[in-house]
A and B are shown apart, each in its own frame.
Chain A
């Protein structure tokens, strides 16, 4: 069973007791694209990700991930997905390299050491490889977390609020990584509450509100729904972010490594 959709969800519902969290969610992610799922806290973004990652059972609805039905063959789905959770799920007591080797072994990759070293290099963590993760900064942890998700080249990746709690510099590093991923054909479902993040990264944007997707489309399509643009003359003040980068002298042009 093959489709051109990496993820297709229709009529997904989930309740916790009396409280309906998802009331019929429909969404699709085409292969090699990034879908940003936008929503406020408690909108049900994480619930959707948990269901798609086989961690939670839906009450009803049809879900296909990477060509497999979620309820019929969850094991096949698990071979083709990777989850980066809201709070970096890295082992603090192990070193960065040990974390990567462990995941490679659990994905049954023979040359686990080689894979680990390659990823350390790619994510600029080689110098910190032998240090315990407990000593890492927030940005380093998240880079390691994403590196762990890439082991075994899963075609579908879930990123649940990947930049929550990161400083601006680290956020831009994560953005560059995600863009590079989609460039290589990986399909990404990204949840975020930062509108700017969705604008920066996503091919398509879906807005989740009160358990349903109320709007979805490209950024241009979403903008077309608004009243037409008017021309106004406004003095452009630097944002605090502009000031921050001017002062610390970091490069925010977005060029990849």
Chain B
């Protein structure tokens, strides 16, 4: 989430000096909410080239203060990426550390919310500084990158499934091998995959993200006008989706596993928070009532989750509540899941202050690095999950092997994130010399 647009209009970036200039250009007063949410322009280590341009228009939205980079966003996005990776592997010991076992929501919610937040932050600024057209063009370029990433992952999936189809002949699973039937019609399947209508398991997040990013120009444009109305419209769309069962159809049948009409709520909410909403919510967020409600809700949902794993407990669940509550619909972002995420976020914001020294500790560095290059690391995670699965299947699985694969996956994600960071630093340096340092913001763009 390098936040470049604001400063990139000026000439050559000059590192920390410029960061300071850039920062001073338009520093709105710091408030509590800034501590809560304000992500920041300029790199944590002052690595991000930047220069200033005074803000001219006075829009309806306010962008948070520029100071230090908001590491909490990176941290939790990195965490979400690791959790998504672990959740995509077959269940193992590590799976018990993923949050979906302790409540309704899971890493997907975190990922989409933070993506909305950072995307709005980056491109919202671009829209204020360079206008709607330029910002839209930049967003579309980002969409293209995500699309290419998705197609790349699909290719890997094809390779894996074809391999299994030809090598695996356990008579116990003749029926399950029916999944290979689509290989018989590559003409249709591959075209449908390119149209985002055929999505294999575990490949649903990127198409959702593509659609949300496509809507981003409109969301931002509307937010520039009236942020609250935009959020209201988003809630209305969510409600309409539930009432009238809107969906995007998929191939060969069924619909998108993450319904964009419902999940947009989280994305828009993230954008709204980034563009000043969080600041206005700071009173609510810091109230004790909110805290206790959030805690109560999290405990209750933890108890419900526990009944899934300890069936003996389910006799203590009133049938009436069960019938009202189930099924908890992930496709349409069940209200219970959304609320669970809100409760988690409220507590996180309260108990993990923006300036928590731990954020700088080397122990959290790997997570933060991964969070800073989320599109690359997300794709890598999906790939590693495929690969890990494959290894587990070929070499007979064992707890040790399983743990080793999970660990290696995480290490590889960290390593690659580090390399990307390093490369960007180097490229930015040489780019600065040749005054050609445009482009990083897109990679920053909340991917």
Chains A and B are bound partners: no
Query: What residues of chain B have their CB less than 8 Å away from a CB belonging to chain A?
Result: none
